[in-house]
Amino acid sequence: MPIRVNDEDHELPTDPRTSLLDFLRRDIGLTGTKKGCDHGQCGACTVLINDTRINSCLTLAVMHDGDEITTIEGLGTPDTMCALQQAFAKHDGYQCGYCTPGQICSATAMLQEIAAGWPSDATDDLLATPTLSDEEIRERMSGNLCRCGAYSNIVAAIADVAGNAS
Amino acid sequence: MKPFDYQRAERIEHASQLMSDGATAIAGGTNLLDLMKLQVETPNTLVDVNKLPMEKIEAAGNGLHIGALVTNTAAAVHPRIKADYAVLSRAILAGATQQLRNKATTAGNLCQRTRCYYFTNTDQPCNKREPGTGCGAIKGIARLHAVLGTSDQCIATYPGDMAVAMCALDAVVHITNANGASRRVPVREFHRLPGNRPEKDNVLEPGEIITSVELPAPVKGTHIYRKVRERSSYAFAMCSVAAIVRMEDGRIDHASLAFGGLAHKPWHDPAIEETLVGQTPSLSLFDRAADVLLETAQSYGENDFKIPLARRTLAAVLCEATGVHT
């Protein structure tokens, strides 16, 4: 089966060593997804697989035939930005912007996880419906580093969208 | 990354046969691919086990079977695990990031390799990575390293959180091999101490594959997972304590305790629990329990802090569980 990226089918790479990240950037030209550490430590490469967020650097493209991948290019365009993209612009949720596609993919999934009632390490009661405090946002986004340190504005952007969604 | 042959297993026996012939299994890949990029792991064949039917959480008597391929996320958010095995949900949520937990699997997490800096740096000596080359950590950078059960060949720690909670819960690992023979190994006996074979992290033999982890019937009580680390999220434990403690009539009626970040395996010592059960909780009792935990502790300079840290973390957890004020 092919791999489906942003609603388009693509052939899998022939070299099994190709990470999903390298496949997206090098093989099919979707350079919105960024390579930071290439070891799962920074989150710049975060994409959605079947709506679940993962580090695309730590998985092989050949393992994803039949999967639906969504990258930042699939979430919005400069003319039709998604709500999180608009909120990051409004709240100045970046400086250099390198981590931003990963931050936005990650936050997209995070809002779905909250809606599904998943707890986090910051959740007091595992059995209660989680609420999106700043502490929860910071914990749930801890897999996305920002070397510029735009964290407070990133939290504000996500809180803005979460507030509008609820 | 060195070239390798990629195969996808359709049946457990197929995967197991390939592994008997030297293949390395890949499930979530979050640890393995990291190590392959560093050329710490250089498998000739990767066998992708993700299509095998081991992805369910199912009731087993009064307990629960967690399939080998159940992701860390799926386990942590499962209604029965949250309700009846909260220490396990808590431990999983305290580890890694959401992105990694979404890919990491139950069996893969049990087999997670150490985060020792010498192990992951191929320019350095490491008896675990390359037996006989020596241990760089013993007289080197050893902040993350073990204080219990070390040997003169290796002082690495097992880095995970999930297995520490499973150790407190007395869970059992189900294992099968290429001949279809299966065996059950308590999590408490699954990981090894380094001894003179530090390259061997656990008791799995070539060709053996984990199929599930069985949680016994739930134990009522206060479930706590306390993890001490150098930043508040996404860092390995300097010390962690998984605890299930139940009080009755002012005395400790039940105590199950396991410790992470201190040894080459999740640490469990029944003598600590025996020290506590039947006693009226107090700071001096908790100190005696810590004496038992740390009786054989040995530190290596940079990790000297771990011995008092373990004592204080244990006391803090027991205070929280029993209502004693610090």
Q: Which of residues 88-117 of A touch B (CB under 8 A)?
A: 106, 109-110, 113, 116-117
Long-range contacts of residues B249-254, Cβ cutoff 8 Å, at least 24 apart: B250/B280, B251/B278, B251/B279, B251/B280, B251/B281, B252/B276, B252/B277, B252/B278, B252/B279, B252/B280, B252/B281, B252/B322, B253/B221, B253/B277, B254/B219, B254/B221
**Which residues on B lie below 8 Å from A19 (Cβ)?**
33
Contact (CB, 8 A) for A20 and A59: yes
Strand bridging mode A3-5 / A68-70: parallel
pLDDT at B326 (0 to 100): 73
Provide, as residue numbers in chain A, all residues whose Cβ is less than 8 Å from the Cβ of B3: 15, 17
Closest residue in B to A106 (Cα) is: B99
pLDDT of residue A1: 84
pTM to 2 decimal places? 0.98
Q: Which residue of A has its CA nearest to B28?
A: A59
Question: CB–CB of B98 and A53 under 8 A?
Answer: yes
Q: Under a CB-based contact definition with an 8 Å cutoff, are residues B245 and B254 in contact?
A: yes
Partner A contacted by B80 (CB < 8 A): no
| Digitized pLDDT (tens) for each residue of chain B, 326 residues in all | 999 999 999 999 999 999 999 999 999 999 999 999 999 999 999 999 999 999 999 999 999 999 999 999 999 999 999 999 999 999 999 999 999 999 999 999 999 999 999 999 999 999 999 999 999 999 999 999 999 999 999 999 999 999 999 999 999 999 999 899 999 999 999 999 999 999 999 999 999 999 999 999 999 999 999 999 999 999 999 999 999 999 999 999 999 999 999 999 999 999 999 999 999 999 999 999 999 999 999 999 999 999 999 999 999 999 999 999 87
Residue of B97, B227, B231, B236 to mutate when probing chain A, most A C-beta within 10 A: B97
Residues of B in contact with A121 (CB under 8 A): 90, 93-94, 233
pLDDT value at residue B45: 98
Nearest Cβ partner for B100 among A16, A55, A63: A55
Residues of A in contact with B73 (CB under 8 A): 52, 118
Q: B 89-118 residues with CB below 8 A of A?
A: 89-90, 93-94, 96-100, 102-103
Percentage of chain A beyond pLDDT 70 is 98
CB contact under 8 A, A16 and B100: no
A59 to chain B, closest Cα gap in Å: 6
Please give the order of strands across the beta sheet that includes B5-8: B5-8, B45-48, B24-26
Residues of B in contact with A39 (CB under 8 A): 34, 37
Nearest CA in chain B to A120: B93
What's the distance, Cα to Cα, between the start and end of chain A in Å? 38
Q: Is A1 on the interface with B (CB under 8 A)?
A: no
Q: What is the DSSP letter of A24?
A: I
The pLDDT of residue A166 is above 60: no
Best mutation target among B55, B98, B100, B113 (most A Cβ atoms within 10 Å) is: B98
Instruction: Say which residues have a Cβ less than 8 Å from residue A8's Cβ, sequence separation at least 6.
Output: none
Mark yes or no for CB contact A53/B102 under 8 Å. yes
Token pair of B147 as six digits = 């204080």
CA distance B296 to chain A (A): 32
What is the Cα Rg of chain B in Å?
Answer: 19
Q: Tell me the per-residue pLDDT of A100-153, one tens digit each, with 9 for 90 and over.
A: 999 999 999 999 999 999 999 999 999 999 999 999 999 999 999 999 999 999
CB contact under 8 A, B98 and A109: yes
Q: How far apart are CA A54 and CA B100, in angstroms?
A: 6
The whole-angstrom distance between A120's CA and the closest CA on chain B is: 6
